[in-house]
Each structure stands twice: as structure tokens, then as C-alpha cells.
A and B are shown apart, each in its own frame.
Chain A
Amino acid sequence: MRRVALLALLALTLPARADDILSAASEIDPGIEDRIRLVVAHRVAGDAAALAGDVADLEARDQARRDDGLPPTGLTDDVRYIAAGVVASRDEQRDALHDVLRTRPDPVVRKLAQHRLDADDAAHADQLLSDDRHNRRAAVLNDAVRPLGVFSGGFLLAALNPFLIAGSAADSVITTAVNLWHYDRLSTPEREALARYETTLEREPRTRDAPEIARAIRRLGTKRAGALCDATIELADQAIDHHDLDHAVFYARAADRIEGCEDRAARPLEKVTHARAEHAAREDAGRWPVDDAPEPASAEEARDYETLVVATALGEPGGIIEAGSRFRERHDDSAFAPAALYAVAVARDLAGHRDAGREALTEVAREKGTGAGRHAAAVLASADYSRLDAILDAERHHARDTARWVLLGGRMDGRTALHTAATFGAQGISAAQSFGILNLIGVATRAWQAWRHDPVSNQAIIDHGEEFLAREPHAPEVPDVHRRLADAYERAGLYDRALLHLRAMPEPDEKRIAKVEGKLADKLFEDADRNGGNPALLAGIARHFADTGAGAKARKRLKDRPANGETVLSRDVLLAYPSLASALELDPKLLDGDRDNGEIADAGVTLSPGQLQLTAYNVGGPGQHIETRSLAPEEYARAHAAAEEALYVRAVTAERRDPETGRFEKYIPFYLQGEVDDSGVAVYPGVKMRRYQPDDEQLYQ
């Protein structure tokens, strides 16, 4: 019954049709459409004077309406904004935009004008440099204060015993010295500012700011060229240190080609040229036989040795083993005995007897004074020969690095060591207890972090494991390697790869697979959520990980999403854009706040081709209901166009404040921070940094 009443209400109280609104406007102000035509014609002609006349005309109309007790047309700010767009130069445009903002325009014009001012490359660059200067100073100050932990208990006790903060003071001084050393290093905001200044001069070479911009370009350009030279030479030096001569040559030559970097490139170039010559000489020498080659002691030894050499050249494992064993039995003391054993080791390996081959190789490697012994030792140490050992070795490294991180922290360097030593020295044995407490907190925190996210890279384990599987897919150790790789991938957060290896095992552990699937689904859901609820990804999670928590969340998210072709207009949007009510032909009573005469609920209106769904509160009782109206194609087209416009205006005028930033936070330049981190407990004040969060940061790194 209520539904029928509401429908009747909707039918009887339909407002005027959308196109009638403009007829009404023309009746109220007969010349308004002609004025708009003139505005558009003047803006096409780029006639600023005529547009000023249009603004004056609209101001007069507004004044006349105010005199009659009517609201102004509200069009003057829009025409002022158009007029600002046709003036010739950047400087005049910026002045005109400031004038537009001074007249308190409507939110859309204000947003557009502000966006245009902010998007100006030179102004943006000025702001970047100003923020960068502030952040450099703040970083020096904050890093100097932080080690002191001025509001921590330890600092208050320092009033009684100044030595208590000796270590912190040393840390503070060293940190400040390091920061000051790097103070003028080229930053990402400076790179962006340089690019933006250059764009400004390309666009507007005659702007009044040109001399100042040109100076900034010269200063930043010199700094950038210096930074590029430094970085290239550093790459060359690093390559030389790692004996990577190919990269060393490339980067040294690249540095030599950078303008102004030639002198600095000379040294690495010389070093790498010398290193290459040495390397070439070593390689060349290695290809020649030794000067004093051993000789067989007897004709019999020479014959047996020849037999072994021929068998080795033929490459038949049986023949080599037989000839090698015979040689060793008959000529145990021969200078060729280690080489004979080496040949046996190779033959055993070729015959598939890897353990026996390794045993022989280990025995040869003990003969360190012989060429064969050194060669065997090198083979044993190579990852190619001992792939499983290489995996175990990488795992041992990983476990050791993790333990070191948990016990000592991730920043254990000379400075932190000095801090600890100075504090300990100042306090003596009595400090042991407080150190113990702080260290325990730090260790516990780091252990928790290590359990949640592996702090150490698993790449070495993964590389050796994958190589093992690629080279020896049928080895008996394969299941063990799959298990180790699954562990490493899981620790590294690469759950899809971990699952692949878990499933490749001969007897897959279903419980563990389910657990890793849950983690993978959670990670995928996070990605989907970050991308604004990517429907394809959500559908994939719901389908492939149906039994996981993320699967359930994805199903719910998909259910809540508007279907394809649907446009949802919440009650907020309908209230914010009253013109929508007429475009959707809604009774104004549905939005007047009075539930007794019918009221649209928060879910609002959903438009889909040929249909409008309206969620309304029940009249005279609790709950809500949905009403559906069919729309003729032209009604739907009109309603959809109005909805898109309203949603766009809402998107333009939405406040883009960082959700983590409080409304009044920008007025407070300081912060106070307490931390329980991998270094223990610290409470300290600081100067707030200005955030640098461009959309395209990677273009300037």
C-alpha cells in the first residue's frame, strides 16, 4: 500500500522536464543565451577586451537581480575564468587567475583556477625547491636530536649524570657531520624542479621570471651534471672493485663522454685499462704449458700414462677408471698420480657415481702442491659441481644474517657501535642492566618483525635452487630442493612460486598448501584493494581462492560493486546537486529530510539502461524498500548524462587531503614521536618534513 502511495506521489509530483528549465531561464533573462554565444565567439577570437565586456554585462545582470531580491546568475566567475584563458602571456594569465580566485568563485571554478596555478611548471618548481630546502634543514636538526631521545627516561637521568648521554651525543655529532657532508647532494625534487624550469622556458621564453629561471637552470644543471659524473664514476669504481672489467670499461668510457667529467674519468679509465692488460696477460699465460713439466721415471710408467691419456681422450668412463686405477697401483709415487686420480674422479662422475667421484676429487684436492690438486679444489668449491651444497651454504648465510639482524639490528655500523661503546664506557658495569632491558626490547621487536617479514634476502637460495632443478631435474635430491625453494619463496613473500614448488613435491602437504594459498589470496586482495577494487582480480580471488578469508572478502566486495553499466548516485550526491533531481524526474519531497512524505535512503538511486532503482525509507515505519521505474531510451540518456556530469563535478571538487593528515596539522610545524623499534625505546621531538609525493616520481630518480 505504501509502495503504491509512493509511486502515486512520484507520478503526480514530477517536476518540470529538464529542457523546460532552460526555457524558464530564457524567460527570466531573455538575453542570456545570446550572451553565452557571444562569450564563446569572443573566446574563439581570443578577444580579451570583448570578454571583459561580457564580464561587465554579467556583473550588471547580477546586480540587477540582487536589486530585485533575486540570487545572481552565478555565471560571472565562469566567464572571468574563460577570459583569463585567452590572455597572451603566462604572467598575465597568472595575474588573471589570482583575480578570479579573489572574487570567491564557485567550488568548480576555484578548483580549476587553483589547479592551473599549481600546474604551472615554474611555480611548481619554486615550491619543490622551497620544500627541499626546508626538508634538508629539518633532516639535519631531527637527526641531531633523535639520538638524544630528549624526552626518554635516560635523558632525564642525564641531569644527574651527564655521562649517561655520552653515546647519544657522539651519535648525534657524527650523524650531523655525515648529514652536513651530504647536505648539498642532488635530490629528486631538485631533478624535478630542473626539468620543470626547462619546460617553462620552452613554453614561455618571454615570461618575466625568465632571468631567475635561467639562473636556477644553470645552478641545478651544473649540479646535475656533477651528480651524473659522480654516479657514473662510482659505477665504474664498483665494477673495478668486483673485478667486473666489462662494466668498468663501459662506465669509465661513459664518464669520459660526460661534459666536464673527463678529468675525473681519467683515473678509472687508466685503472681499468691496466686491469684489462693484466687480465689478458694472465689468461694468455694460463694457456701455455708449465716450464718444467714432470717426466715419467721409467718406460713402463710412460706407457701406462700414455694408456691413461688415450683412455681419457676417448672419454669412456670404464676405460679411464681401469687405466687410472692400474696407473695408481703400479706408480703410486709418480708425479702423475694425482692427475690419474683426477681422471678417475671425472670418469666416476661421468658414469653416474657422483658420491664416489666426489670422494676421489676430495682426495686429489688434498694434494695442494700439485696442479691437479689445485684444480680439484677449485672444482669442489664451484657452485656448478656442488649445487646442493651451494643451496645449503646460501641457507646457512641466510640464517646467520637473520640472527645477526635480530641480535644487533639492521643498522650495525661504526656509528652505532661507537654509540654503544661510548654509553657503556660512560656508565660502566651499572649500565649493563639498563642496556639489557633496552636490548631485550630491541631484540624482541626485531624478532617479531623478522617473523612477520623476512629482513634478509632469499635470492641466493632461490638462484641456486632453481639452477639445480633446471640442470638436474631427475636427481634424487629434487623433492628436497623443492621443499627448500618453497620455504625461501614463502619467506620472500612470493607465494605463487612457493605454491608451485609445494605442489611439485611427490607427496604434497595439503595443509601447508592451504596456508600458503591463504597468504597468496590475502596479498592479491591487498593489490586489488589498492587499485580501487579491480573487478577482474577480485573475481579471480573469489573463484580460485574460494575457501580463504580473502575469497570471502572478494565475493562481498564484488557483490557491493555496481554492475556493468550501472551508475550509482548516493543520497549525498543527490543533495549536493539539486539539478539531478529534475534530470532524474524525482519529486523534491524525496530529498526534503521529512520521512513522513517519503525520503530517499543513503543508497540513493541506481541508474541502468532502461531502468531507475530508488532506495527509500518506509513511510511511517522502520526499514527501507526499493522502487523501480522504467525509463524510455531518451529519458535514460538524459538522466545518465546528468549523473555523469554530477559525478565528474564531485570528483573535481573533492578534497585531496592525505587521509592520514589531520585538518589543522599543517599549522603545527613540530611533532613528538615515540618509537619502540629495532634500536629500543626512543621519544623525541622534530620539525615536520614537507611531503614529496609526485605521481611520477620515477621520472626523476
Chain B
Amino acid sequence: MRTLAAALMVLSMFAAPVRAGDATGAFAPYEDLLEVVADLTWHLRDDPYRFPPPKDPTGHDLYRLSLERLQNWEQRYPGRLHDVTAYGRAEALEHLGEYAKAADLYGTVAKLASPLAERAREGSERAGAFADAAALPETGTELDDSLAALKTKLDAWAKLVARYGGTPYEPAALVEEERLEQTAARLVVAHRNALQEGNVAAEQALRFLVQKHADSKELPAHILGLADFYADVARDYVAEHDRPLAFEESAFVERADRALDAYRKVAAWDGAPEKPEAQARFAAFDAYKTAVLGRYR
């Protein structure tokens, strides 16, 4: 008897805690909904400016996936817990940069009698402000018009960066600001032949991107952009000095090596998604340099 009691005591010591387990029967739909909301919760304060977007265990973009799963839940149980699903969808859309749609959904929840209504009002106001900035035009008929439009839009985003500085929403505004500055730099690079001192302006624009956004996840891409510009300048030199006696080897090598140095910087950047691309571009441009030198010797 004593042995049995001892054995039971030992067993009770090793017994597993109560299993939380799957939701059963009628509670299963709530479990599905909570799982989607739970995954979103983990990434509401993520910094999309410095770090890449989150992935779920199957490798999908978590915000897109959450949006689809919440839509599916609404299809399955129309009208149920609408405030929760609408709020979750608004969060996912806001993180995907769909500010106008997010503002609408937040607005819908704000009108409901729900504990989420107050937060939804804040969300609607914030997403609305982001949507207004996002809706401003980025292009014009001429280069100057486009640059002016970009300047206006950048000012609008700069105000939002200042207004939401230090909150989880600042990085989203920084992402938009960075994207617009990149667009402006590309525009200058594309039209550099039409601009006075175009190459200088283009290089300054690209270097400005690299310096200003040194903390951004896009930094390797910006350096790659600068390298592409240097490569184009080297190619332009060859095109402009096509005849053998006009071609100066040292002038070409100086331009080509600037591009190769910049490509190599990203090609040696462990963990950067742009690394394989930079390695390939380095190899391609190195082959071009060798071919050009071979042609003129």
C-alpha cells in the first residue's frame, strides 16, 4: 500500500500540467480568430523602416496573410464580431500602406458600440492623415513639375514624421519619405543629361539617400543604386570616347573602379538581401571593364 502511495506521489510529481488544447465544438471559430489576431499583435510595433516585413512560419508576408484570414473569417461567420475583424483588417491594411482603406475600416469600427471604438477613432484620424499625404500626386508633365510635386509630397510626409515622431507610426512615415526621396533621385539620374552639371546633381542626390537613410533596411539598395550610376558614367565615357585615340585608359579605369568598389561593398555585405544581386552585377561590370580594356589595347 505504501509502495502504491509512493508511486502515485512520484507520478503526480511528473504529471504534465493541464493541457490547454484545441478549442472544441462551438468555440473553435473564436480560436481561429484569436490566432490571427495574436500573430498580428506580435508585429504591431515593428519598425518597417529599419527591418524587413515579418513572415509567418510558412514564409508568407504576415500582414497580407492576416488580412486574407480575417476576410475569410468574415465570409464564414458574416456579421459576427465585426468590430474585431474590421479593426484587425484595418491594422493589417495600415501596415501594408493602404491608408485610405484602413481609415475607412477604422471609421466603421469607431461608429460601433465596442471597446475598440475609441482606439478606432484614433486610428481613423491617423490613417486618414497618412492617406491624405499618400494621395498627393508624384508626377507632372515636365521634370520640374514632377520635382515640385515630389517636394510638396515630401513636405507633407515630413510633417507626419514630426507629428508621429517617437510613436510606432513614425517608421511608416519614414518609409514613405525614403521612397519619395528615392523616386526624386532616380528622376534626377534619368534626366542628368538634360540638366546642367547633371552628373554632379545625380551623384549628390544618390549620396544624399545613402547618408540620410543610413539606418534604413534599404541602405544596401541605395548603395547599389549609386554603383549603377557610376557604372553608367563609365559606359557613357566609353560611348563619348569611342574612337581609339580619344579613349584614355586611366580615365575609364577610374570611373569603372568607382562602380566596382561600390558593387563590392554590397557584394560583401553578409545578410543583405541585395548581396547576390550585387555579386552578379560586380561580375558583369568587371567583365565589361575587361572587355573594354581589351578592345582598346
A→B interface (CB under 8 Å) = 18-19, 21-22, 24-25, 28-29, 32-33, 36-41, 43-46, 71-82, 85-86, 102-109, 111-112, 115-116, 191-192, 194-196, 198-199, 202-203, 224, 228, 246-247, 250, 253-254, 257, 578-579, 583, 637-638, 640-642, 644-645, 648, 651-652, 695-696, 698-700
Q: Can you list, as one digit per residue, whether each of B76-96 has a CB less than 8 Å from chain A (1) or not (0)? A: 111111011001100000000
B177, chain A: closest CB distance, angstroms? 20
A-B contact pairs, 9 of them (CB 8 A): A18-B77, A19-B80, A22-B30, A37-B84, A40-B115, A82-B41, A106-B22, A192-B271, A695-B59
For A36, the closest partner residue in chain B by CB is B30
Decide yes or no whether B261 CB sits under 8 A from chain A. yes
> Which residues of chain A come closer than 8 Å to B271, judged between CB atoms?
192, 195-196, 198-199, 699-700
Q: Does B268 belong to the interface (CB within 8 Å)?
A: yes
The CA-CA distance from A19 to B39 in the complex, in Å, is 24
Kindly supply a per-residue 1/0 record for chain B positions 153-187, scoring 1 wherever the CB is within 8 Å of any chain A CB and 0 otherwise: 00000000000000000000000000000000000
Q: Which B24-68 residues have a C-beta within 8 angstroms of A?
A: 24-35, 37-39, 41-42, 44-45, 47, 50-51, 56-59, 65, 68
Interface-lining segment among B12-20, B128-136, B198-206: B12-20
Known: A21-B29, A86-B41, A640-B75. 11 other contacts (CB 8 A): A38-B115, A40-B88, A43-B41, A73-B24, A78-B31, A78-B38, A104-B17, A104-B18, A198-B271, A253-B257, A699-B270
Contacts of A39 in B (CB 8 A): 34, 37
Which residues on A sit within 8 Å (CB–CB) of B16? 104
Interchain nearest-CB distance for A582 vs B (Å): 10
The yes or no answer to B140 lying at the interface (CB within 8 A) is no
Contact B24 A71 (CB under 8 A): yes
Interface hits, B252-282 → A, CB 8 Å: 253, 257, 260-261, 264, 268, 270-273, 275-276
Given B35, B38, B75, B260, which contacts A250 in the complex, CB threshold below 8 Å? B260
Which residues of chain A have C-beta atoms less than 8 A from B253's C-beta? 246
Interface centre among A32, A44, A79, A106 (most CB of B within 10 A): A44
Q: Are B290 and A191 in contact (CB under 8 A)?
A: no
- Which residues between 115 and 146 of chain B lie within 8 Å of chain A, taking CB atoms? 115-116, 119
Structural contact, A250 and B257, CB atoms closer than 8 A: yes
Given contacts A37-B114, A698-B276, A699-B271, contact A85 B30 (CB under 8 A): no
Could you tell me the distance in whole angstroms from the C-beta of A49 to the nearest C-beta in chain B? Answer: 16
Pairwise interchain contact A192-B20, C-beta atoms closer than 8 A: no
* Cα distance A375–B72 in the bound complex, in angstroms: 80
Query: Quick check: B34 and A112 within 8 Å, CB to CB?
Result: no
Q: Is the CB of B270 within 8 A of A191?
A: yes
Interface centre among B57, B69, B81 (most CB of A within 10 A): B57
Indicate whether B73 reaches chain A with its CB closer than 8 angstroms.
Answer: yes
Contact B26 A21, beta carbon cutoff 8 Å: yes
In Å, the complex CA distance between A203 and B51 comes to 9
Provide the residues of chain A in CB contact with B47, threshold 8 Å: 203
Residues of B within 8 A of A104 (CB): 16-21
**Please, how many angstroms separate the alpha-carbon atoms of A25 and B65 in the complex?**
27
CB distance from A607 to the nearest CB of B (A): 13
Shortest Cβ distance from residue B40 to the other chain A in the assembled complex, whole angstroms: 9
Q: How far, in Å, is B272 (CB) from chain A's closest CB?
A: 7
Contacts of A19 in B (CB 8 A): 76-80
Q: A246 touching B41 by the CB < 8 A rule?
A: no
Whether B72 lies near A641 (C-beta < 8 A) is: yes
**Residues of the A chain whose Cβ atoms lie less than 8 Å from the Cβ of B251:** none
Judge if B23 is at the interface, Cβ distance under 8 Å.
yes
A85, B91: Cα distance in complex, Å: 15
| Cβ–Cβ < 8 Å partners of A36 in chain B | 30, 33-34, 81, 84
Q: Is the pair B30, A195 in contact by a Cβ cutoff of 8 Å? A: no
Indicate if B222 sits at the interface (CB-CB under 8 A): no
Q: Which of B26, B33, B44, B119 has the most CB of A within 10 A?
A: B26
Q: Which of A36, A40, A250 has the most CB of B within 10 A?
A: A40
A109 and B24 CA atoms in complex are apart in Å by 15
B276 touches A699 (CB 8 A): yes
> Does B195 touch A at the CB level, under 8 Å?
no
A651 to B69, CA, bound (A): 14
Q: How far is the CB of A235 from chain B (nearest CB, A)?
A: 11
On chain B, the residues within 8 Å of A76 by CB distance are 20
Are B20 and A106 in contact, with the CB atoms below 8 A?
yes
Q: How far is the CA of A45 from the CA of B41 in the complex (A)?
A: 11
Is the CB–CB distance between B31 and A106 below 8 Å? yes
Q: Which of B20, B28, B51, B276 interacts with A105 by CB under 8 Å? A: B20
CB neighbours of A78 from chain B (8 A): 31, 34-35, 38
Distance (Å) between the CB of B188 and the closest chain A CB? 28
Nearest residue (CB) in B for A257 is B261
B293 within 8 A of A: yes
A25 touches B26 (CB 8 A): yes
For B270, list chain A residues within 8 Å (CB): 191-192, 194-195, 224, 699-700
CB neighbours (8 Å) of A73 from chain B are 23-24, 27, 30
Residue of B nearest to A202 (CB): B50
* Contact residues in A for B59 (Cβ distance below 8 Å): 695
The 3 closest A-B pairs by CB, nearest first: A74-B23, A195-B271, A25-B26
Q: A78-B38, A86-B41, A699-B273 are in contact. Are A32 and B21 (CB under 8 A)?
A: no
Q: Which of A75, A224, A642, A700 contacts B27 (CB 8 A)?
A: A75
For B293, what are the chain A residues with a Cβ–Cβ distance below 8 Å? 246
- Please name all residues of chain A whose beta carbon is closer than 8 Å to the beta carbon of B88 when the two chains form the complex: 40
Query: Is A82 within 8 A of B58, CB to CB?
Result: no
Are B31 and A645 in contact (CB-based, < 8 A)?
Answer: no
Given the complex of chains A and B, what is the CA–CA distance between A136 and B267 in angstroms? 27
* A41 adjacent to B119 (CB under 8 Å): yes
Residues of B within 8 A of A21 (CB): 25-26, 28-29, 77
On whether A22 and B77 interact (CB within 8 A), knowing A75-B31, A246-B289, the answer reads yes
Are B39 and A112 interface neighbours, CB within 8 A? Answer: yes
B116:A648 contact, CB within 8 angstroms: no
Cβ contacts under 8 Å, A33 to chain B: 30, 80-81
Q: Is B35 in contact with A111, judged by CB distance below 8 angstroms? A: no
Would you call A37 and B50 a contact (CB within 8 A)?
A: no
Cβ A112 vs Cβ B41 within 8 A: no
Q: Which residues of B contact A254 (CB under 8 A)?
A: 261, 264
- Cβ contacts under 8 Å, B114 to chain A: 37, 41
How many Å lie between the Cα of A102 and that of B26 in the bound state?
Answer: 26
- List the A side residues contacting B290 at CB < 8 Å: 246
Q: Which of B179-234 contact A (CB under 8 A)?
A: none
On chain A, the residues within 8 Å of B28 by CB distance are: 21, 74, 578-579
Tell me, in angstroms, the Cα distance from A81 to B84 when the chains sit together: 17
Identity of the chain B residue whose Cβ is nearest the Cβ of A37 in the assembled complex: B115
Interface centre among B16, B18, B276 (most CB of A within 10 A): B18
What CA separation (Å) do A86 and B45 show in the bound complex? 9
Given contacts A25-B26, A74-B23, contact A645 B73 (CB under 8 A): yes
Indicate whether A74 sits within 8 Å of B22 (C-beta atoms), given known contacts A103-B17, A246-B290: yes
Residue of B nearest to A100 (CB): B20
Closest to B57 in A: A115
Chain A residues with Cβ under 8 A from B87's Cβ? Answer: 40, 44
The answer for the CA separation of A81 and B56 in the assembled complex, in Å, is 15
Q: List B contacts of A224 (CB < 8 A).
A: 270
A638 with B34: CB separation less than 8 A = no
Q: Is the CB of A37 within 8 A of B75?
A: no
Collect the chain B residues with CB atoms within 8 Å of residue A652's CB.
56-58
Chain B residue with Cβ nearest A88: B45
Q: How far is the CB of B199 from chain A (nearest CB, A)?
A: 23
Contact between B268 and A74 (Cβ–Cβ < 8 Å)?
A: no
- Closest CB in chain B relative to A216 CB, distance in Å: 14
The answer on a CB contact under 8 Å between A28 and B26 is yes
- Chain A, Cβ-Cβ closest to B122: A44
A485 to B264, CA, bound (A): 35
Query: Which residue on chain A has the smallest CB distance to residue B215?
Result: A202
Report Cα–Cα, A32/B31, bound state, in Å: 11
Which residues of A have CB within 8 Å of B56?
A: 115, 652
Q: What distance in Å separates the Cβ of A660 from its nearest Cβ neighbour in chain B? A: 21
Indicate if the CB atoms of A32 and B27 lie closer than 8 Å: yes
Q: Return the chain B residue nearest A41 by Cβ.
A: B115
